[in-house]
Amino acid sequence: MIDLHCHLDGAITKDIAKKLASMQDIDVSNYTDEEFDNLISLDGDCSDLNEFLRCFEFPLSLLQTKESISAAVKLVQEHMKKQGILYLELRFAPQLHCQKGLSQEDVVLAALDGLEKDDLHTNLILCLMRGERTKAQISRNMETIELAEKYLVADEGIVAVDLAGDEFPYPTEMFAEEMKKIRGFNIPMTVHAGEAGSAENVRFAVENGIKRIGHGVRIADYPSIVDLVVKNGVTLEVCPTSNRQTRAVKNMDEYPIKKFLEAGVKVTLNTDDPAICRTDLQNELKYVKEKFGINEDDEKRMLLNSVDAAFTTAEFKAELREKIKILRG
């Protein structure tokens, strides 16, 4: 299994949160187990993406020191490795980890430090944030891009950038300035689009050369955008439980995963925020098999799509394909 779309702050399980809290002398003993669960994850579905985004507050509050960021990267890797993940792309927004005085560069270096201490093959993606176009916000995003450029490697480090945050009020085209700078630096990029906002956000991203889209499920009702995605060989990082919980798709019975595969869209299966969504890749797979008629062939196709779209080297992709062949035939 391969997870290309996993947020660090959304992957802080209860055990990891407790370890991070104790490292920082944060007392969480007054919470019952159930209260603690509810603090860091969602029991059911929520009314919109914003309610979902609020679940990040507590995990994020634990990720404001160099030591806790390094430890979190390491612990999330360990946790994912135990679940049989072969390759992981873990993303985070450095600007969200500066509440206690760290610079974005401190955050990036701390995450890289955590990465070196574990052996699950993992790459990091730096997220820019959607938000009001204030000078400060633009400059935070530009700083993230400059850090990505500074630390960019082909593998085992920072390999790409992403655009995350509240999509509905802040369409992708508002971030054209950032996207231009990213293109100028030739940094690989994925963009959250067609999740909580319009399918047009996917069109804009694809027309601007983006080859990977986070979610993209809202293009299902727009055949011309589905065509555009297919023609451009764009990969969708689909995250079913997260999409259900945030109501990215109005009617989950019509979740378009099978439809996309049949149309030739390069679909990949991912968790988004495994701890917040109380899921893992096995569970996502089970869900799409039981609910949406995904079969063994689809499963293998999605896995190979993940290899093709991974932000890593051709050599490592060949290694992954070989492993998949041995495991799955």
Catalytic residue annotation: 195
Nearer to Zn ion, 18 or 218 (CB): 218
Q: How far is the CB of 22 from Zn ion (least distance, A)?
A: 28
Number of residues that bind Zn ion (CB under 5 A): 1
Nearer to Zn ion, 272 or 280 (CB): 272
Q: Which stretch binds Zn ion (CB under 5 A): 14-22, 139-147, 272-280, 302-310?
A: 272-280
Q: How far is the CB of 57 from Zn ion (least distance, A)?
A: 16
CA angle 251, 252, 255 (to 5 degrees): 105
Nearer to Zn ion, 89 or 298 (CB): 89
Q: Which residue number places its CB atom closest to Zn ion?
A: 272
Q: Where are the alpha helices (DSSP H) in 117-222?
A: 135-151, 176-185, 200-207
> With binding defined as CB under 5 A, does residue 89 bind Zn ion?
no
Q: How far is CA 6 from CA 35, 81, 85, 92, 125, in A?
A: 24, 14, 12, 9, 10
Dihedral angle sign, alpha carbons of residues 152, 174, 248, 235 = negative
The closest of 232, 145, 229, 230 to 180, measured between CA atoms, is 145
Nearer to Zn ion, 3 or 272 (CB): 272
* DSSP code string of 213-278: EEE-GGGGG-HHHHHHHHHTTPEEEE-HHHHHHTTSSS-GGG-THHHHHHHT-EEEE--BSTTTTT
Q: How far is the CB of 93 from Zn ion (least distance, A)?
A: 11
Q: How far is the CB of 133 from Zn ion (least distance, A)?
A: 21
Could you say which of 3, 272, 284, 298 contacts Zn ion (CB under 5 A)? 272
Nearer to Zn ion, 60 or 324 (CB): 60
The closest of 159, 165, 116 to 140, measured between CA atoms, is 165
Q: How far is the CB of 282 from Zn ion (least distance, A)?
A: 19
In the complex, which residues of this chain contact Zn ion (CB under 5 A)? Answer: 272
